[in-house]
Every structure is written in C-alpha cells, then in structure tokens.
Amino acid sequence: MPLPLSDWLVRIQQQHPQAIAMGLERVRTVAQAMGLAAKPAPVVITVGGTNGKGSTVAFLDAIARAAGLRVGSYTSPHLWRFHERIRIDGAEASDEALVAAFERIDAARGDTPITYFEYATLAAFALFERAGLDLAILEVGLGGRLDATNLVDADVAVITTVDLDHMDYLGPDRESIGAEKAGILRAGGIAVFGERDPPSSVLRRAYALGAIAIRGHSDYLVDRFDGHWVWREPGFQLELPYPALAAPVQLDNAAAAVAALRAAALAIPEAAFVRGVAEARLPGRLQRIAEAPEVVVDVAHNPQGARQLAAWLAANPRPTVAVFAALADKDIEGMVAAVTPWITAWQLGPITDAGPRGLPVEALAARVRAAGAAAVQTHPTLAEALAAARAAAGTGGRVLGFGSFHTVAALGHRL
C-alpha cells in the first residue's frame, strides 16, 4: 500500500542531514536518473530576488491564465499545505499526484541524499512536464546560482530586488548576494530587473553573458495616476488597474511581471494584462483577516520587507499593535527598527515548528527591546499574543502580525 502524503512529507525531511544544502550536483544526478526533460514547459520564467518573488509569480500566473495559457507555478515556502507549492492552472497538486512524484524520485535517487526543497522541486518538474503546459513559472528558493530551480535554463529570468537576507549562505553584502542571485541568468537570455538600482554584480553578470537586460524604471517605466497606472516602453503602453495586493512595492512586482511576459513573446492580449493585474492574489501579503480591530498579516521577514510595511503603515495611519515572531538567524533588530515608529505595543510569541532556527520568546524579547521597541510583552504562544494584541488595539485600532511565514501560518487564518 502506498505511503500517504503525510508520511512522505515526514520522510523527505529526513533524507538529507541538512535542511539547506547548496549545490546542483546531487539534484542534477537524480533528475537525470528520472529522465526529466531539460525544460518542464516550452517557455520557462524563473523568478529570483530577496523579496517580491511570490507576488511576482502571482502576477505572472494570473495574467498568463487570463490569456488562456496553461500555466504551472512552483513557489516556496508554503503557508498551510505543501500542495500550495505546485499549482497547475491555479489548482494545487493533489495528494495522489505528489505521492506518485515522490515515488518516482525515490526510485531514481538510489543512495543520493536530497533535501526537502530538492524533492519539492523535482516533483514540480515531474508534474509540469506531464501537464502539457504553455508556461512554467519557477520561484527560486534561496539565492539562485546553486538553487535546485537553476537546473532549468530560463527563457526569462526575473530578479525582483536584492537586499540583505540569508547572509550565512549568500554573502555579507548586497553585491555578493546579487552575484549569487544573478546565477539564474543565461548567456544570450533575457533578464528583467525589477528594482530601480540593482547591484553592480547583477548588471556585470548580465553584460558578461550577453543577456538582454531589461531594467525597471529605465527600459520600462511606471506612471501613477488617480485610479490607474500605466506600464510603458518605447512604442507600447498599457493602462492598468492598481493591484489588490497592497504594499507599495507591488506595483514594481506587477510591472516586472508585465515586462517578463512581454519579453517572453507570449500571446498576451491587453485585456489579459488588465484582468491578471486586478485578480492576482497571494495570502499573507498585507492580508486583512479581521475587523474591529483590523487584523493584517504579512510574511515580511527581513529589513527590506519591514521597510515596505513601514511605508504602508505611514500611508495608512492607525494605532497599531504588533504580533511578532521571527527565526533566530534573521535580522530581528533591523526589522523592528524599521517599523517601530508606527507601532504602539509589541506582543511576542515563539515559533515552535522551526527546529534549531527557533528562538525562545524571552530571547526574542531581548532583541526586540535592543532595537528600540517599547511596551513589549511575551506570551507562551502566538495565539495568546494575538488575543492580547486584539484586546489592546480595541475596536478602532489595528493588529499587524509579521516576522516570518511561520508567524502568519501560526495565526491560523486562511482565505
């Protein structure tokens, strides 16, 4: 009798001694043994960057499907269910499909140990190549150069932003991190850079490869108007609705998605761009989950993400109580410092499902206070922290839950 998916998910966490193991040799060996195609779809768009990857994938997916294309999207991490990571035409992969993919991977890998993320990536490739896709969209997990998604040569590589995160793996500064992320670029390929000023290391890599570099706010422009915005490049422009995704940076993410689809030369009519930008949704991105008080959750987990939260809080003033938890290896002080001017009190709880990356709540509180936060309280669980925050905010206030994907997931809310 086949193992159920729940048992498989436990099993794949145990097949490699490290949760994160950079490098392509092992996963390439298994992919070759599986007989996977070089590309899981005729057109592949790979999305890397520090923040904004998942949102950019959501825009790409929504626009392409509005155009009638058959689309597979691979993202990570998930919030509530592993199935979220692999979607075909908007539908999550089934238990049966995932189990069959894991069985195929295990039969091929022999004694080669691979990580949980590598299992997930190979499963996505296996399901996509059998789905008759027009387009596969791949979100990089960590970095780019040594990430399992980089087995595939992307037709278009998107780098959303580059900032400080995962520095133990990617390097100590923005330039070294950019060099790792630029590993998804290909000689003669197309590269879309979503931020106004990408690191020199990214641009140098594109130029050295002879890649066609398309820079946001340079090769394409974004013009804001009351009630709509305009994406334009020489000889072409689109009038588009503002995204439902609320953070200020989402306009840059949507614009990068438009640029990538235009560069991929897919048959996307103007109406599909309009509909896709309007309809794109992604849980956990400034998602309002309750009223009286307003409760908003966001997966921001580094200082760049927290600065986006700060910009949104400044543009939408209301007394705000934070529910906060973060992993031990994150720049907690940088996140807290970014939003502290807009937070009236902090309710903290622990992340209990992160293994050695977890942080006891009192240690978390010490780091939050060291960053200048006042009115900091600790709780045994995030559920209790949320209850305390809602009571403190009152009916006219706001609660903001952030700090990690784990934090948003633990608050227990779903669309």
Range 37-58 average pLDDT: 97
**Which H/E stretch holds residue 169?**
helix 167-170
Instruction: Return d(Cα 188, Cα 227) in angstroms, integer.
Output: 38
Q: What is the DSSP letter of 99?
A: H
| pLDDT surpassing 60 at residue 324 | yes
**Which region among 159-173, 211-225, 249-263, 283-297 has the lowest average model confidence (pLDDT)?**
159-173
The per-residue pLDDT for 35 is 97
| pLDDT surpassing 70 at residue 17 | no
Residue 167 counted as domain residue: yes
* Selected residue with higher pLDDT from 334 and 3: 334
Residue 102 counted as domain residue: yes
Residues 334-361 pLDDT 10s: 999 999 999 999 999 999 888 888 999 9
* Whether residue 254 is found in the same domain as residue 385: no
* Whether residue 251 is found in the same domain as residue 320: no
For 13, the domain range is 5-279
**Which H/E stretch holds residue 385?**
helix 382-393
Mark which of 258, 279, 300 sits at the end of a domain: 279
| pLDDT surpassing 60 at residue 259 | yes
Residue 415 counted as domain residue: no
Percent of the chain exceeding pLDDT 90 equals: 91
Quick one: 18 exposed, middle or buried, by C-beta within 10 A (0-12, 13-18, 19+)? exposed
**Could you report how far apart the first and last alpha carbons of the chain are, in Å?**
34
The per-residue pLDDT for 137 is 98
| pLDDT surpassing 70 at residue 415 | no
Q: What is the DSSP letter of 316?
A: S
Range 154-173 average pLDDT: 91
Range 200-227 average pLDDT: 97
Q: Which two tokens stand for residue 308?
A: 């986006």
Number of H helices, E strands in the chain: 15, 17
Q: Which two tokens stand for residue 153?
A: 């040569």
| pLDDT surpassing 80 at residue 412 | no
Number of domains present in the structure of the chain: 2
* Whether residue 307 is found in the same domain as residue 405: yes
Strand pairing of 345-348 and 376-378? parallel
* Distance, C-alpha 24 to centroid of its chain: 21
* Whether residue 161 is found in the same domain as residue 237: yes
Residue 293 counted as domain residue: yes
The three-state secondary structure class of 406 is helix
* Whether residue 22 is found in the same domain as residue 115: yes
Mark which of 259, 279, 299 sits at the end of a domain: 279
Q: Which residues pair with 345 in a beta bridge?
A: 321
**Arithmetic mean of pLDDT over the chain:** 95
Q: Are 91 and 52 in contact (CB under 8 A)?
A: no
* Whether residue 331 is found in the same domain as residue 260: no
* Whether residue 311 is found in the same domain as residue 268: no
The per-residue pLDDT for 19 is 65
| pLDDT surpassing 60 at residue 70 | yes
* Whether residue 306 is found in the same domain as residue 225: no
**Which region among 216-225, 234-243, 352-361 has the lowest average model confidence (pLDDT)?**
352-361
Instruction: Return d(Cα 46, Cα 27) in angstroms, integer.
Output: 17
Give me the phi and psi of 245, to 5 degrees please.
Answer: -65, 130
Instruction: Return d(Cα 43, Cα 71) in angstroms, integer.
Output: 10
Residue 130 counted as domain residue: yes
Q: What angle do CA 180, 190, 147 make, to 5 degrees?
A: 30
Range 90-110 average pLDDT: 97
The number of C-alpha atoms within 13 Å of 68 and in the hemisphere containing its C-beta is: 5
* Whether residue 207 is found in the same domain as residue 339: no
Percent of the chain exceeding pLDDT 70 equals: 98
**Which region among 39-43, 237-241, 242-246 has the lowest average model confidence (pLDDT)?**
242-246
The three-state secondary structure class of 212 is strand
Residue 270 counted as domain residue: yes
| pLDDT surpassing 80 at residue 20 | no
Read off the pLDDT band of 49 (50, 70, 90).
very high
* Whether residue 100 is found in the same domain as residue 220: yes
Q: Are 311 and 333 in contact (CB under 8 A)?
A: no
The CATH number covering residue 321 comes to 3.90.190.20
* Whether residue 275 is found in the same domain as residue 291: no
Residue 225 counted as domain residue: yes
* Whether residue 236 is found in the same domain as residue 348: no
Mark which of 279, 304, 331 sits at the end of a domain: 279
* Selected residue with higher pLDDT from 166 and 179: 179
The per-residue pLDDT for 181 is 96
Q: Are 175 and 200 in contact (CB under 8 A)?
A: yes
pTM score: 0.95
Q: Which two tokens stand for residue 410?
A: 């633990």
Read off the pLDDT band of 414 (50, 70, 90).
very low
Instruction: Return d(Cα 193, Cα 161) in angstroms, integer.
Output: 8
The CATH number covering residue 219 comes to 3.40.1190.10
Helices (H), 316-359: 332-339
